Copies of this chain bind each other. A is one copy, B any other.
Amino acid sequence: VDNSLKAELDDVVCLPLDKGYLVLKADMLVASTDIPPAMGMRLAARKSIVMCVSDFAAKGVQPRWALTALGLPRPITKEAVEELAEGFRQGCEEYGVRLVGGDTNEAKELVIDVCMAGLSEHPPPRRRGARPGERVVVTGPFGYPPLGLKILLEGLQVRGPLRTRAVATVLEPRARLAVGLALAKRGLVTASIDSSDGLALSLYQLAEASGVSIVVTRLPFTEELESYTQRRGLPLEELVFFGGEEFELVFTCPEERVEEALEVVRRHGGSPYLIGHVVEGSGVYRQVGGERVRVERRGWQHLAGPR
């Protein structure tokens, strides 16, 4: 799809008021591309809220109000509508958002559009603020959502806690709002983005918006995921870089404040990874031994698989 319609060059839109800023975001979730079969109406509605909250989290802004607009296929049962309403309520309650309005329409498939608004005293961190010398941090490990999708969509056999965790990241994703708010409050973030398009693409978007290059020195994964992929011969790097539907934050911070940033992430429930640093130039590279290998600029195309 042509990008001429993407006027938005950041996770949210930030508009100056007389005092402070109005922060807006609209996000659409479409059944055929965004909703795995195992995900019921309630979880789909909840996910639509989480997707939007995640963009606010990346900007360290508390979303205050949500409007939902629904396209509903016929015939739709009363139960399905109640499940949707329950999912919206649940998602909004988890993140302190007030559901203030809604609109329902008929459509050929389920479409959920969520629009959120929040207020910020200061301009929130943009994607474009990263400078050479700064560190790149993520708020948690990557790779679970793509594994979860393989389990749910391709019937990949995984057992035990790994299965539970991977599936949960797909069906009940969590936005890193507490972490994002705490980081912004302390002014620790110079540039930030959420990772719903996958780690590689998020890093590229940060680098491009900031006019810098990013060098990844460490991949953010757990031992659990590493030993599983080794046993099964699955490509760990592929899962970590090119998965999608991830909801961790990716941000840059000044070198001298990176320990503080890691500590803030930990204190608010995250599992931070210092994954690299910012250098002059362009593009995203992986440091492998003494060599820099270019990371492919590609992401995850929803349920259609990697693009």
Contact = CB atoms under 8 A, between A and B. Distances in A.
A72 interface: yes
A107 B304 CA distance: 12
Contacts of A71: 28, 30, 71, 111
A297 to B, nearest CB: 19
Interface stretch (A7-15, A133-141, A227-235): A7-15
Contacts of A102: 5-8
Interface in A66-124: 67-72, 76, 78, 81-82, 84-85, 88, 99-109, 111, 113, 115, 117, 119
Given A2-B78, A85-B5, A119-B17, A103 B69 contact: no
Kindly report how many copies of this chain are found in the complex they form together: 2
Contact of A7 (B76, B99, B105, B107): B99
A105 B33 contact: yes
Contacts of A70: 5, 28
Interface stretch (A18-26, A163-171, A207-215, A247-255): A18-26
A221 interface: no
Contact of A1 (B15, B69, B104): B104
A24 B65 contact: yes
Nearest to A28: B69
A4 interface: yes
Contacts of A109: 107-109
A268 interface: no
Contact of A8 (B64, B82, B103, B113): B103
B85 A32 contact: no
Given A22-B22, A27-B69, A81-B1, A6 B104 contact: yes
Given A2-B82, A85-B5, A117-B117, A103 B27 contact: yes
Given A17-B119, A117-B22, A1 B72 contact: yes
Contacts of A76: 1
Interface in A149-192: none
Contacts of A8: 67, 100-103
B103 A28 contact: yes
Contacts of A25: 67, 101
Contacts of A105: 28-30, 33-34
Interface of A: 1-2, 4-8, 13, 15, 17-19, 22, 24-30, 32-34, 64-65, 67-72, 76, 78, 81-82, 84-85, 88, 99-109, 111, 113, 115, 117, 119, 302, 304
Given A7-B101, A24-B115, 15 more contacts: A4-B85, A5-B68, A7-B99, A7-B100, A8-B101, A13-B100, A15-B100, A17-B17, A17-B119, A30-B106, A32-B107, A33-B107, A71-B71, A106-B304, A111-B113
